[in-house]
Structure 1
């Protein structure tokens, strides 16, 4: 959850959720309980004025994500308890970012709370003044119900939401990519489940020869979404994004190149047509519809994949296999 600031006259104030300054900022404490899934207990919340902001409205701009959909389902109970209405806009990730940037730059009143991926845009958004400090709201017993305890979050999660000593949001999600494969296709084509990262290429080759009607591999190819699943290929190959001593860029290290090459060769030779135009919604749809044999995609997408008929019976899941040379399996986790 990230808090947004507005510019001086009421200065405006991702993942995180944003709250504007002025009267809207005071709503953040009330909203925190519902945003983080906390259900107030009557004894501990005794004396808290849940109706303090009765009649006001909070505008949320969120990504299409299981958490956002859960918040939408919780909106009515929240309104009943507090009297605060929620206007929720849920967009796919790229349109959400584009829309959010427009609203933030325009200091629009159409966004009070938003999802923000701090590992990606946190430093930039903070420098632009698009995050408010939520600490005063969380520590004010008149704004945040006593049932909410910041210490329930791990120190690392809070550190990732903090810039220059300013807590800019609340953690709402932690995820990591997983290796998904179709057990029935592997069995039909007599292909062993990859034990090492490098085995994926051989498995894809055999599946393509066995059943050309199935794409052996699918993964993100869109420029701004590809680093997340691709990074583990680099790390598991023994490479990194920095030099060994950490002082220079490291993508030209032989190990890094090997990981990048494996990722791109799988997309180029065994992925669906138009792979560079696909991100996680398209990859999940292909896997769910039974059109692809393997992918490396977010753990968040598991419930979306399971919505498709048959996948509960034929899908295998594990961490991306370790690299053969270094024996490293280093999944990427962020929130």
Structure 2
């Protein structure tokens, strides 16, 4: 078997494993359809399907979609699923080379390499370079370098960034004041703060909510690992879970979840974390900066006016938060590529990015952060703290959410599974580190 054949088989196997992995953790869900009204255009009956996940960006942009339909005459069929279900559906549809999806949300730090090698993404370079398709007022150079470069895989532009984010700590200012808890400066301080809340509230308020759902653990756990002074991989491409700092990182994270987190933490993702925090059941939430919009929503939150934001504290190896961008991509198998590009261009335009930023969506465009209207929208204390924390993440963040690999989803699952065993008390941090080192390296190889 020649090397080219082996590469094809390797990529195909990676995609297949990713699909099976995601399907196992996915259930059935009903799609949510967006508005389909609009005025006539040259393509009166053209409809595009946009596959999105239940995400703050989706919630923020959905009310504006009728404007796009009216401007272009293009109808948008917006399908919204949970993160795992959305990824499972996109993967299966793309593997089948089906034209059923035109535009889809994609996390390049997770599936980007595998999807690109499989030929799933339509290259957007030709659309960007054609002035008849992308006028100058789109301002492509306005995108910040990190998020924009993050949408380029092996030299090809495969998406446009829609949001930047990183894990932060949302906290209850009123409880911290009542219990005389200072803002944590170290990871040990963070554990102490969570412990104090539980003790002084007599267990009525949990200390912290963080991710325990196995595929999602790396997002929150990464800063604990990096703040021990560790990269996921050493210079030879081997995992660093055999280093002493890895055991400390696992122990710290699992102590927070097991001792000071809510019951069932191993099943929680961002949605559950934010719901618990918004209902006043936890004093801290360690999750995406994107969750600000959810926890200050008057229709859902009981803690409005009591919220503060700070960066995940430093460890012995410094402070290295996770930073990433989500993007929207075009399917290589779309039969409505011009219409799909019009939607992508509209959704990521300077004007729309500003509108979404005013709703709490962190923009990948530099002009948004410099905009006077946006700055004025940050007059509340919580929004100022949010913006300051996010600025720190953008300047100091590590873009690797998990160990980089073609089979990255499977590697993250291995890490999450073993960390969950520690949270459940079935494994020691040392045993988990040993198993991650062995099992994940078998996947990476």
Deviation at 1:142, TM superposition (A): 3.0
Q: Deviations over 1:178-212 (max 9, x none)?
A: 11211222233333332211111122222222221
Q: Which residue of 1 aligns with 2:226?
A: 235
User: Is contact 1:204–1:216 with CA below 8 Å preserved after alignment?
Assistant: yes
- Give the ranges of 4+ consecutive aligned residues of structure 1 lying more than 6 Å apart after TM superposition: none
Deviation at 1:238, TM superposition (A): 2.5
Q: Which residue of 1 aligns with 2:24?
A: none
Find the partner of 1:217 among 190, 201, 208: 208
Q: Deviations over 1:313-334 (max 9, x none)?
A: 21121111112x34x1111111
* TM-score (norm: length of structure 1): 0.79
User: Is contact 1:241–1:256 with CA below 8 Å preserved after alignment?
Assistant: no
Q: Which moved more, 1:308-317 or 1:225-234?
A: 308-317
- Cα distance between partner residues in 2 of 1:231 and 1:202: 20
Find the partner of 1:194 among 181, 184, 197: 184
User: Is contact 2:295–2:301 with CA below 8 Å preserved after alignment?
Assistant: no
Find the partner of 2:240 among 233, 246, 250: 250
1:225 aligned counterpart, secondary structure: helix
1:297 aligned counterpart, secondary structure: strand
Q: Which residue of 2 aligns with 1:280?
A: 270
Deviation at 1:274, TM superposition (A): 1.0
Q: Deviations over 1:214-251 (max 9, x none)?
A: 111210001111101111111223333123x4642112
The yes-or-no answer on 1:313 pairing with 2:305 is yes
Find the partner of 2:112 among 107, 112, 122: 122
Deviation at 1:165, TM superposition (A): 2.5
CA RMSD between the two structures: 1.9
- Segments of structure 1 that go 5 or more residues without pairing to the other structure are 1-49
**Cα distance change of structure 1 residues 217 and 155 upon mapping to structure 2, 3 Å threshold:** closer
1:74-89 to 2 correspondence within 5 Å?
74-89=64-79
Q: Which residue of 2 aligns with 1:66?
A: 56
Q: Which residue of 2 aligns with 1:134?
A: 124
Structure showing the higher helix proportion among its residues? 2
User: Is contact 1:118–1:160 with CA below 8 Å preserved after alignment?
Assistant: yes
- Cα distance between partner residues in 2 of 1:141 and 1:54: 24
- Cα distance between partner residues in 2 of 1:309 and 1:62: 24
- Cα distance between partner residues in 1 of 2:145 and 2:115: 22
- Cα distance between partner residues in 2 of 1:300 and 1:89: 20
Give the number of equivalent residue pairs.
283
2:78 aligned counterpart, secondary structure: strand
1:248 aligned counterpart, secondary structure: coil
The yes-or-no answer on 1:261 pairing with 2:255 is no
User: Is contact 1:54–1:82 with CA below 8 Å preserved after alignment?
Assistant: no
**Cα distance change of structure 1 residues 221 and 287 upon mapping to structure 2, 3 Å threshold:** same
- Cα distance between partner residues in 2 of 1:198 and 1:239: 17
- Segments of structure 2 that go 5 or more residues without pairing to the other structure are 1-39, 326-445
